[in-house]
Amino acid sequence: MLRGGRAGDQNGHVPNTASKKKTQVSGGPERRRELLDTAAEVFAAQGYNATTVRKIADAAGMLAGSLYYHFDSKESMLDEILSSFLNELWEGYDAVLAADLGPRETIEALVTESFREIDRHRAAVAIYQKESRHLTDQPRFQYLADSQRRFEKAWLGTLERGVSAGVFRADLDVRLTYRFVRDTVWVAASWYRPGGRHSPEEIARQYLSMVLDGIAVQS
């Protein structure tokens, strides 16, 4: 369902602790996760090509050389950010698709899971939206194109099933509907902020009330 598009930090803010004393850091999975989170925010705000290891290190409040203790390149950081996000997303999607739900309920569950992932990985979603088109040209990131094909198959299959079952309108253009839902859901990464007024589940509920009323057969 994801696709390269317009997304990023709406305020252009990047965590910056460069004013703090830069120190050497110890290893460990927790610190590694913190550094990836910082890198994701910088990538999302400034773009992958414009981001340097030094910029990430400055945002993390550490020496650029210290960052190489954890990662061998900014490409490795980006790879881990995107692959971790997609692996978690597909765990949720696969659980939905294996639950033998009706087509409407499947759409509802997929949309809700998507908003939950935006809540958990907003910066990674923003990076994916902005960078995926040109990243797929690189062998290391071929899995992005593979994942995109899986998204399309899952969503189109569910919409087609709904049309065949008489749940969704017979005149529904399923490919156009898929593109609309895909783009309008994931662009939320550009404005959504965790801990805001609405939970991801509430946003999904309101979004679905608008979309499903438009594609469902009216009784």
Sign of the Cα pseudo-torsion (154, 134, 8, 173, in order):
negative
CA distance linking residue 43 with residue 55, whole number of Å: 10
> Contact, 168 vs 102, CB < 8 A?
no
Joined together, the tokens standing for residue 183 give 């783009």
Per-residue pLDDT at 78 exceeds 90? yes
Count CA within 13 A, CB hemisphere, residue 159. Answer: 25
Superfamily name and number for 75-215: Tetracycline Repressor, domain 2 (1.10.357.10)
Tens digits of residue pLDDT in 115-140:
999 999 999 999 999 999 899 999 99
Predicted TM-score (pTM) of this structure = 0.80
Contact 151/159 with Cβ under 8 angstroms?
no
CA distances from 201 to 71, 91, 101, 158 (A): 35, 18, 18, 21
The string of pLDDT tens digits covering residues 159-205 is 999 999 999 999 999 999 999 998 888 888 778 777 778 889 998 99
pLDDT at residue 19 is higher than 60 = no
Q: Which amino acid is at 169?
A: R
